[in-house]
Amino acid sequence: VITRLQLDLSGFGIDLTTADGALAEAVARRWSGFARAPGSPAALRVEVEDVPAALPEGAFGDKSIVVRRVGGAFEIRMPEGCARVGCDGQIRIGVPRGTVEERAFAVDNVLLAALALALPERGACLLHAAAAVIDGEAVIFLGGEGAGKSTWAGHAAARGAVVLSDDLVFVAAGGGAVLALASPFRAERNPGARSTSFPVRAVLVPERARAHALDRLGVLRSVAAVTAGLMYECAGTSRAARETAEAVARAVPVLRFRFAPDPGWIDLLRRARI
Amino acid sequence: VSDRALIVRVGPIAIALAGGSRDLAAALEARFGRYAGAGEGGGAALRIDVEPALAEPFLEPPAGPQPLEVRIALRPAGTVSYTTRAAHGEFERNGGTGRLQLARTDWEPHDRAVENFLRAAAAWLAIGRGGVVVHAASVALAGRGYLFFGPSGAGKSTVCSLARGGAVLGDDIALVWRGSGEDPRLYETPFRGSWTGPWLGESVPLRAAFRLVHGDAPRRIAVPRALGLADLAAVLPFLGPAYACEPVLEHVAALFDGVPLYRLEFRKDDSFWEVLEDPGRGARGPA
């Protein structure tokens, strides 16, 4: 028996099929705010299959990922599993045997990498960034490990902002608008997360400092900063991801953000004419 | 006799390597990634017969640490002779055939010795066919190619490591190529220094070229055209004897026609992006 989940990643329809009913239930729980109305079309079709190997010990601590381009497709290998992302929107995910929760977690992680490579062809990219909604608009705080994303997201939450994620955010650029998408990935700070999107007010490129300051970056540095924020080697392997990052950088203000460890930046950002 | 060969592609130039051990072919395929593969070699500009590695080293070892000694000579018949300690070979300068002998030495790995020979062959083939091989780093951003050059220590590798977000097409050897009636393009080449990022398989229009200069602030400095071309001529590897038979400088001037040439003062951060398209604060003209 094949189970089909109809999912909606804030505007991008995804059909996910698997022969493992228990796994489908676990995935559906993770995506509970992101169900799609029956009958509406899906841009991506995901098939989840078993691969004949056990999950390696300590797999989830190992962040190694290898992405290869094979013709127009991408092949992804990571400790949790593998995926083939076709240019036709067909994604095949393989996860090893394990408990249902382990397998659901593996599907999440592999699917995330697959979406990072599949969505740029459709106008969205995945950024290593925190994102918070302030006065109805999303503000994106770019940065890798140690950049201060969690601290920053904590400030935003303390001042009542909805934190879409403190680690990664899908951003869609098209028709002149740039939108930050709510997603079920790394959304622990957004417990009621559901399918929705917010116009992006600014992208922040943080530098730690004693006092808050914002300066607008030039075009090339903006494009470089957003491109460098692409997750999963997308900048190295996917031209579409680079083009989407460039479209984002050209359409919204990218600001160098000198950032001190207090929430005062929210007032600075509100006052800033950008 | 098999016609199968290892085909190495440097932009639009294909070089076929015939013979050589399986180990060498495997090492070269690993080294050149998507730019090497087995093939028939029919369309190759140059076919090199690689002979078994039996010879004694061709040059004395250097007295101390110094760059690889390469001797290049042009024979009257139009054959280029190439000699290092680990390799000796020759090839027809406008393409055709050639041969390469490797020495029985572990002074330099064979795949690296072959790469150096291929760099020289590519440099000669390019200069005769509408392109040039430049000792330079190349980075693409927003669909435009930027070339960064200078002598060893000028900062080519540093620029690549600071160019986060840009796509590094190469950190050591760049190919600039102009198809007939087209604007010059910057190609990713199989020849890398220490860069280990993914292969991109791309070329982009060449937007500008920068001679790297250390500075304490990012600054783009306009230079007289002749000075810019002279800066460039200083970083064309392997072509010494070509000046006797080819109008190298005229060729480079024509190839880079329409491409701005600058000096770029940079410091060790990514702020140089700000001035590539814009002279930056405190910019000054030619001294």
Q: Where are the strands (E) in A79-181, listed by range?
A: 81-85, 90-97, 124-134, 137-142, 162-165, 168-174, 177-181
Nearest-CA distance B164 → chain A (Å): 5
pLDDT tens-place string over residues B44-62? 999 999 998 788 889 888 7
Neighbours of B31 (CB within 10 A): 18
Residues of chain A with pLDDT under 70: 54-63
Q: What are phi and psi of B128, to 5 degrees?
A: -90, -5
- Checking if the pLDDT of B283 tops 60, the result is no
Neighbours of B145 (CB within 10 A): 27
Buried b (16+ CB within 10 A) or exposed e, A116-133: bbbbbbbbbbbbbbbbbb
Provide DSSP, A189-258: T-TT--S-EEEEEEEEEEEE-SS-EEEEPPHHHHHHHHHHTBSTTHHHH-HHHHHHHHHHHHHS-EEEEE
- Checking if the pLDDT of B278 tops 90, the result is no
Query: Are the C-beta atoms of residues B187 and B205 closer than 8 Å to each other?
Result: no
Q: Which of A220, A227, A237 sits opposite B276 (nearest CB)?
A: A220
DSSP letter assigned to residue A59: G
Residue contact B165–A217, C-beta within 8 A: no
Nearest-CA distance B12 → chain A (Å): 19
pLDDT tens-place string over residues B203-217? 999 999 999 999 999
Query: How far is the C-alpha of A103 from the C-alpha of A110, rounded, in Å?
Result: 10
Contacts of A236 in chain B (CB under 8 A): 167, 197-198, 200
pLDDT tens-place string over residues A176-221? 799 999 999 999 888 889 999 999 999 999 999 999 999 999 999 9
Q: According to the model, what pLDDT value does residue A57 have?
A: 54
Q: According to the model, what pLDDT value does residue A274 have?
A: 72
Contacts of A256 in chain B (CB under 8 A): none
Neighbours of A199 (CB within 10 A): 13
For residue B133, the number of C-alpha atoms closer than 13 Å in the C-beta half-sphere is: 26
Nearest-CA distance A76 → chain B (Å): 14
Query: How far is the C-alpha of B194 from the C-alpha of B199, rounded, in Å?
Result: 13
Q: Which of B164, B276, B278 sits opposite A228 (nearest CB)?
A: B164
Hey, what are B87's tokens?
Answer: 């390799």
**Residues facing B213 on adjacent strands:** B265
**Mutant choice from A128, A142, A221, A244 vs B, greatest count of B C-beta within 10 A:** A221
Q: According to the model, what pLDDT value does residue B251 have?
A: 93
ipTM exceeding 0.90, yes/no: no
Hey, what are B50's tokens?
Answer: 């690689």
H helical segments located in B135-269: 156-162, 225-233, 248-255
Q: Among B166, B165, B209, B211, which residue's Cα sits nearest to residue B186?
A: B209
User: If you measure CA to CA, which chain B residue comes closest to A238?
Assistant: B200
pLDDT tens-place string over residues B145-175? 999 999 888 999 999 999 989 999 999 999 9
Q: According to the model, what pLDDT value does residue B203 have?
A: 95
Nearest-CA distance A40 → chain B (Å): 35
Query: How far is the C-alpha of A122 from the C-alpha of B105, rounded, in Å?
Result: 54
**Mutant choice from A220, A237, A244, A246 vs B, greatest count of B C-beta within 10 A:** A220
Q: Which of A233, A235, A237 sits opposite B165 (nearest CB)?
A: A235
DSSP letter assigned to residue B260: -
C-alpha separations of A105 from A50, A98, A112, A195, B67 in Å: 14, 10, 11, 20, 52
Query: How far is the C-alpha of B1 from the C-alpha of A143, rounded, in Å?
Result: 57
Query: Are the C-beta atoms of residues A17 and A4 closer than 8 Å to each other?
Result: yes
Contacts of A227 in chain B (CB under 8 A): 141, 165-166
* Percentage of residues of chain A with pLDDT beyond 70: 96
Q: According to the model, what pLDDT value does residue A249 have?
A: 97
H-run or E-run covering B145: strand B144-149
Q: According to the model, what pLDDT value does residue B287 have?
A: 36
Amino acid letter, A166: D
Region B197-206: mean pLDDT is 92
3-class state of residue B279 by DSSP: coil
Q: According to the model, what pLDDT value does residue B66 have?
A: 74
Q: What are phi and psi of B171, to 5 degrees?
A: -115, 5
**Mutant choice from B160, B270, B277, B278 vs A, greatest count of A C-beta within 10 A:** B270
3-class state of residue A114 by DSSP: helix
Region B70-83: mean pLDDT is 94
- Mean of the per-residue pLDDT values of chain A: 92
Q: According to the model, what pLDDT value does residue B282 have?
A: 46
Residue contact A236–B200, C-beta within 8 A: yes
Of the listed ranges A7-16, B46-55, B94-103, B254-263, the least confidently predicted one is B46-55
Q: According to the model, what pLDDT value does residue B286 have?
A: 42
**Residues facing B10 on adjacent strands:** B13
